[in-house]
Structure 1
Amino acid sequence: MRNAIITASYAPDFERCAILCETIDRLVTGFECHYLLVDMPDKELFAQLEGPKRKILTEAELLPWWMRRIPSMLSPGGRRIWLSPLTVPLHGWHVQQIKRIAAALRLDVDGLLYCDSDTAFVRPFDVQEIWNDDSIRLYRENEGALAAKDAHLHWAAHAARAFGLGDPAGLNHNYVSSIVTWKRQTVVDMCAHMEREHGRSWVSILGATRSFSECMIYGAYVDGVLDGAGHFHDPVTLCSMKWFQPAPSRNEVRAMLDDLEERQVAVGVQSFLPMPAEDFRAAIGGERRAA
């Protein structure tokens, strides 16, 4: 199967994204290209990470013409905000999710491995392992949305509305992880299904609220519409992640490495946690990318 890796990032996460790229170059095989999805103001910064198997895709190549980022001088606190006549005002995190879906529509591959830019591979990994014949791996924590933060239930309800599924009670699984795997054709069919259901762009359907998750959307489509066809469920995340405060020390990250399950190949520390990038690199035994 033909596979691509996709990472959405932005300038404040550049150093962490560079570490991810270093570890992909060193440890990951079985893919054609790693695509970095960034905003136009960040393109020049991230261009230094490009190479034979890594390319930049910007918002201009991924977002509809009617969705525009307002100048930072007009934005409260300088935050990046996108306005459109068809969505509520969206912040960077929401737009990153839309870009992750839009990138799948653009690429000519079979499988997609999405990696958050605050993760890093620490074991060799062949992306072909996400396949079992024609079925692709789908991370799913059964009933996980019930035990997670309240946002997960809002995301599940939004996903149910997007596909006209009615009662979202059957979508209470958690599909959110810092590394996820999708089938490209399923993304194409998913967007077409939303547009048939509502008679408008899938971007406007997702962006009707700021309470959505692209991982929950994809999982709801696979399980709620396709009844799991073309996928096999995996309850083990590929990446062990430190999501919440306090920020870990180097030794605590090293302990995460020691505690990895057999099939886990990466670790991550949420980028909002105040752990310097060099501490993270040192903890995972990484080497700085050559200039």
Structure 2
Amino acid sequence: MSQLASQLPSLMMVTCSMTGDKPLFAQLAASIDDHISKPIRHLVVVPSGDVASFSEFANPWRMIVAQDEFLPWHLIRLPTALGRLAPVFTRLRRPLYLTSRFQPVRGWIVQQLLKLEIARQATESAVMHVDSDVMFYRDLTAVDVFPCGRPAYFSVPGNYRTDTSIAWTRNAALALGIDAPDAFGTIYVENCVPWSAAVVRRMLAHIEATHGRRFQDVLVGMDTVSEYHMYGMYLDLIEGHGAVAHVQQSFCNSLWPGDDPEKYLDLLAARSNSQHFAIAVQSTEAIALDQRRILLEQARVRLEQ
């Protein structure tokens, strides 16, 4: 990846995508071109075979890069034909990989490795992870992501616990070398999540010092990983918040699996607040592109009211 000039505050947006999400990504790219200030670069990381397909979105502010640039050499991607089984085996929606020891690694885990390594290499002060199913409707600048001059850190303390979040907490604690907190229910997962690049570098150095091996080798053997839980628990339980600005409001108004599709407009309106810059409807939700555009336009209309 070419080195980008460092600024204070400086921000890079990062999207890990693939051909299957290209129609959604097109909407994201158009919304970023409309609403994100031009000094903010947009790094788009896709499988090497998808670079040519995504090249139409490249511009002076958006770079399309093969994910191989950020992955360990010993991760081998299996044939894409396995993706045809995704409707039956949802874990195969993303590509499957093998390590040099023939250990299978889900594409979900690989995406977490990518996000972490990209942030570690970033020359910007912060990176904001933006998935393909996000759409911006309000202008955003780097200054918006740096309250009090420090990178925003999103988390909401509480008692949110599901089987999935419990597994994420357990594995994040394992990676960080700490005991898993009892009844830990802080919310870390959202869309448009910014990270301090310096904090990520310190966190990964901590993981590697704790385990005596590369962080990628620590994570590939796990059944599930949440990069957001790992980052949040590192700040909350190890480093503290001195390098970040804690916020409890997301930059994105998100709709999640389980929300009633018939009530999406009402839900977005009810959850909308002045801190939101984007909306997101999970890519796994069966909602057509034109319906997503309607949600986006409604968000813009509410902003003008």
TM-score after normalising by structure 2 = 0.85
Work out whether 1:215 is the aligned partner of 2:228.
Answer: yes
The residue matched to 1:200 in structure 2 has which SS? coil
Aligned to 1:230: 243
CA 1:71–1:218 in structure 2 vs 1: closer, same or farther (change >3 Å)? same
Aligned to 2:273: 261
CA 1:283–1:174 in structure 2 vs 1: closer, same or farther (change >3 Å)? closer
CA distance in 2, matches of 1:171, 1:161: 14
Aligned to 1:93: 108
- Displacement of 1:266 after TM fit? 1.0
CA distance in 1, matches of 2:39, 2:192: 15
- Displacement of 1:160 after TM fit? 1.1
Aligned to 1:15: 23
Work out whether 1:277 is the aligned partner of 2:289.
Answer: yes
Equivalent residues of 1:237, 1:264 under 8 A apart: yes
Equivalent residues of 1:176, 1:215 under 8 A apart: yes
1:25 maps to which of 15, 20, 33: 33
CA 1:254–1:55 in structure 2 vs 1: closer, same or farther (change >3 Å)? farther
Equivalent residues of 1:30, 1:127 under 8 A apart: no
User: Which is further off, 169-178 or 115-124?
Assistant: 169-178
1:3-46 deviations in Å (ceiling 9; x for gaps) = 10011111111111111111111112274310111111211111
The residue matched to 1:284 in structure 2 has which SS? helix
CA 1:256–1:151 in structure 2 vs 1: closer, same or farther (change >3 Å)? same
Equivalent residues of 2:40, 2:61 under 8 A apart: yes
Aligned to 1:155: 168
Work out whether 1:109 is the aligned partner of 2:124.
Answer: yes
The alignment yields a C-alpha RMSD, in angstroms, of: 2.3
Between the aligned residues of both structures, percent identity stands at: 24
CA 1:270–1:184 in structure 2 vs 1: closer, same or farther (change >3 Å)? same
The residue matched to 1:205 in structure 2 has which SS? helix
Give the residue type in structure 1 aligned to 2:274: E
User: Which is further off, 262-271 or 252-261?
Assistant: 252-261
- Displacement of 1:139 after TM fit? 0.9
Could you tell me which runs of 5 or more consecutive residues in structure 1 were left unpaired when the two chains were aligned. Answer: 287-291
CA 1:46–1:75 in structure 2 vs 1: closer, same or farther (change >3 Å)? closer
Aligned to 1:289: none
Equivalent residues of 2:15, 2:42 under 8 A apart: yes
CA distance in 2, matches of 1:10, 1:253: 28
CA 1:45–1:180 in structure 2 vs 1: closer, same or farther (change >3 Å)? same
1:35 maps to which of 34, 43, 47: 43
Higher strand share: 1
CA distance in 1, matches of 2:137, 2:128: 16
- Displacement of 1:85 after TM fit? 4.2
CA 1:131–1:15 in structure 2 vs 1: closer, same or farther (change >3 Å)? same
CA distance in 2, matches of 1:285, 1:74: 37
CA 1:170–1:4 in structure 2 vs 1: closer, same or farther (change >3 Å)? farther
CA distance in 2, matches of 1:87, 1:133: 47
Give the count of matched residue pairs: 283
CA distance in 1, matches of 2:210, 2:99: 21
Could you tell me which runs of 5 or more consecutive residues in structure 2 were left unpaired when the two chains were aligned. Answer: 1-8, 87-91, 299-305
Aligned to 1:77: 85
Equivalent residues of 1:247, 1:274 under 8 A apart: no
